[in-house]
C-alpha cells in the first residue's frame, strides 16, 4: 500500500480517515525542510499533504517516489510548483472548500473598519464610554466596493456586498469578461480607475510573480483618503511598507488584513502599532465548516491520484504529459 505523509498538525480527522481507507498514513513530526527531505527520500512515500509548510526544490529533488502534493487550501505559493512539474509531481488543491468562509471574513473586516469595532471595544474596556462622542462609525450600505480578482472568493464577496448591503460592485480581473461580470451585477473596470472610485478595495488574487505588490505605493495613492483596504488573499500582493506609510500619514483611512508580508509579522513591525488596522492571523478560511470540507476534499483528491485517477483540481495540468510523471505514475 502506498504511503501518504502528513505533517503535524495535520488535516482534520475526516480527511485522515479517507486517506487511511486506501493508503498507509505516516506522520512527520514537523514541517522543517530537513525533516521532509529525510522522510520523503523513501521510494514508498507517494504523497504528501501540506497546509503552510514549504515544499521546496530541494525536497522535490530528494523525493523519488513522490507522485502528488496535496495543498490543504487554495493558495500554493508555499509549493515550488515549477520544480514539482519538472520532477513529474502533481500538485492538487481544494479551491471549492473555503471560499464562503473567506468571503464572510472579508465582509466582516469591512464592517469592523467602518464601525471602528476594535477601537470602540478597547475604549469600553478602559472605561472610556465617551468614545462615542468623539468618533463616529459609518455605514457600508450603498458604498462602492472594488473586488481585485473575481474568482470564487471575489465573486462571493461581490454577491454579499451587492445583495446584503446594496453596494455598487466594481471588479478588475483579466480572466472574466465584461458580459459575465454584468450578468452578475458587477461593472468591469481597469485597476487604476476602480481604485479612484472605491470606498472599499478588497483583494482576492493569488500571489504570483505578476501579482506581487500589485497594490503598491502608486496604487494606494490613487485610492480615496477615506477608503478602506481589505486583504484576505496573500500578504505579498500588497506592498506592506507603502501601506504602513499611507495608514500612518492618514493618506488612507484604514485596512483590514488577514495576511502579511512577512508572515507572521515580526515583533516591532510598525503595522502592529497602527490604530486604524484590523488584524487577524491568516485564518479567514479556517472556519470549522471549511476545514472539514477542505480536509475531506484534499484527501479525496490525493487518494484519487494514488488509485490511478486524475484529480479534479490539478494546479499544474501540463505535468500529465511529461515522461517523468508517467514514470512515477506507473511505479
For residue range 214-231, list pLDDT tens digits in order.
999 999 999 999 999 999
Check whether residue 145 and residue 262 sit in a common domain.
Answer: yes
What's the structural domain count of the chain? Answer: 2
Domain span at 234: 99-279
Core vs surface per residue 101-126: b (16+ CB within 10 A) or e = bbbbbbbbbbebbbebebbbeebeee
Q: Hey, what's the torsion of the CAs at 181, 186, 191, 194, to 10 degrees?
A: 160
Instruction: Please write the tens of the pLDDT for every residue from 134-188.
Output: 988 999 999 999 999 999 999 999 999 999 999 999 999 999 999 999 999 999 9
- The residue from 244, 260, 279 where one domain ends is 279
CB of 149 within 8 A of CB of 186? Answer: no
* Residues 26 and 68 sit within 8 Å (Cβ to Cβ): no
Concerning whether 273 is annotated as a catalytic residue, the answer is: no
> Are residues 168 and 31 part of one domain?
no
Give pLDDT, residue 328.
Answer: 75
Query: What is the average per-residue pLDDT within 304-310?
Result: 92
Residues 159 and 124 in one domain: yes
**pLDDT reading at 301 higher than 90:** yes
Are residues 275 and 157 located together in one domain of the fold? yes
172-182 pLDDT per residue, tens: 999 999 999 99
Same domain, 164 and 236: yes
Q: Which residue is associated with the grid cell 457600508?
A: 140
CATH number, domain at 54? Answer: 3.40.50.720
- 103 and 251 housed in the same domain: yes
Long-range contacts at 214-217 (CB < 8 A, ≥ 24 apart): 214/148, 214/238, 215/148, 215/239, 215/243, 216/242, 217/242, 217/245, 217/246
- Same domain for 160 and 264: yes
Q: Within this chain, do residues 139 and 60 fall inside the same structural domain, yes or no?
A: no
Could you confirm whether 72 is annotated as catalytic? no
Q: Are 154 and 194 in contact (CB under 8 A)?
A: no
Q: Examine the pLDDT at 117 and tell me if it is beyond 60.
A: yes
> What is the four-CA torsion angle of 294, 296, 297, 301, rounded to 10 degrees?
130
Residues with Cβ < 8 Å from 305, sequence gap 6 or more? 47, 67, 68, 90, 92, 311
Name the domain boundary from 261, 279, 297.
Answer: 279
Task: Based on the fold, state whether residues 87 and 128 are members of the same structural domain.
Answer: no
Is 263 an active-site residue? yes
Average pLDDT, the chain: 95
Based on the domain organization, do 22 and 76 belong to the same domain? Answer: yes
Q: Are residues 150 and 271 in the same domain?
A: yes
pTM: 0.88
* pLDDT confidence of residue 192: 97
Determine the pLDDT at residue 331.
Answer: 57
Q: Which three cell numbers stand for residue 31?
A: 514541517
Give the model confidence (pLDDT) of 76-98 as tens digits.
999 999 999 999 999 999 988 99
Does residue 329 have a pLDDT over 90?
no
Chain centroid, CA 294 distance in Å: 13
Residue 281 binned pLDDT confidence (cut-offs 50, 70, 90): very high
Mean pLDDT score, 39-59: 94
- Active-site hit among 17, 139, 178, 263: 263
Among the listed residues 105, 204, 234, 293, the single catalytic one is: 234
Residues 106, 86: one domain? no
How is residue 310 written as a grid cell?
A: 486524475
Amino acid at each position: 500500500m502506498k504511503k501518504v505523509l502528513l505533517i503535524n498538525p495535520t488535516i482534520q480527522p475526516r480527511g485522515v480517515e479517507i486517506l487511511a481507507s486506501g493508503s498507509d498514513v505516516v506522520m512527520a513530526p514537523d514541517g522543517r525542510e530537513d525533516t521532509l527531505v529525510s522522510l520523503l527520500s523513501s521510494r514508498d512515500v507517494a504523497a504528501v499533504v501540506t497546509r503552510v509548510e514549504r515544499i521546496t526544490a530541494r525536497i522535490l529533488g530528494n523525493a523519488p517516489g513522490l507522485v502528488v502534493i496535496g495543498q490543504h487550501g487554495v493558495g500554493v505559493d508555499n509549493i515550488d510548483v515549477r520544480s514539482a512539474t519538472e520532477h513529474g509531481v502533481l500538485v492538487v488543491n481544494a479551491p471549492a472548500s473555503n471560499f464562503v468562509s473567506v468571503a464572510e471574513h472579508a465582509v466582516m473586516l469591512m464592517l469592523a473598519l467602518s464601525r471602528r469595532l476594535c477601537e470602540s471595544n478597547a475604549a469600553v474596556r478602559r472605561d472610556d464610554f465617551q468614545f462615542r462622542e468623539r468618533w463616529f462609525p459609518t455605514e457600508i450600505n450603498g458604498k462602492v466596493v472594488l473586488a481585485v480578482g473575481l474568482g470564487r472568493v471575489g465573486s462571493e464577496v461581490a454577491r454579499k456586498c451587492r445583495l446584503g448591503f446594496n453596494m455598487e460592485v466594481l471588479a478588475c480581473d483579466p480572466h472574466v469578461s465584461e458580459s459575465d461580470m454584468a450578468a452578475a451585477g458587477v461593472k468591469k473596470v481597469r485597476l487604476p480607475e476602480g481604485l479612484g472610485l472605491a470606498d472599499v478595495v478588497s483583494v482576492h488574487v493569488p500571489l504570483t510573480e505578476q501579482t506581487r505588490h500589485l497594490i503598491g505605493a502608486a496604487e494606494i495613492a490613487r485610492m480615496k483618503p477615506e477608503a478602506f483596504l481589505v486583504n484576505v488573499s496573500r500578504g505579498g500582493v500588497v506592498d506592506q511598507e507603502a501601506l504602513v506609510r499611507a495608514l500612518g500619514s492618514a493618506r488612507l483611512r484604514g485596512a483590514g488584513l488577514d495576511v502579511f508580508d512577512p508572515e507572521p509579522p515580526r515583533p516591532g513591525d510598525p503595522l502592529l502599532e497602527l490604530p486604524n488596522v484590523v488584524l487577524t492571523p491568516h485564518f479567514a478560511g479556517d472556519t470549522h465548516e471549511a476545514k472539514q470540507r477542505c480536509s475531506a476534499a484534499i484527501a479525496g483528491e490525493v487518494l484519487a491520484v494514488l488509485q490511478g485517477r486524475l484529480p479534479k483540481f490539478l494546479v499544474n495540468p501540463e505535468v500529465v504529459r511529461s515522461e517523468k510523471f508517467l514514470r512515477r505514475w506507473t511505479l
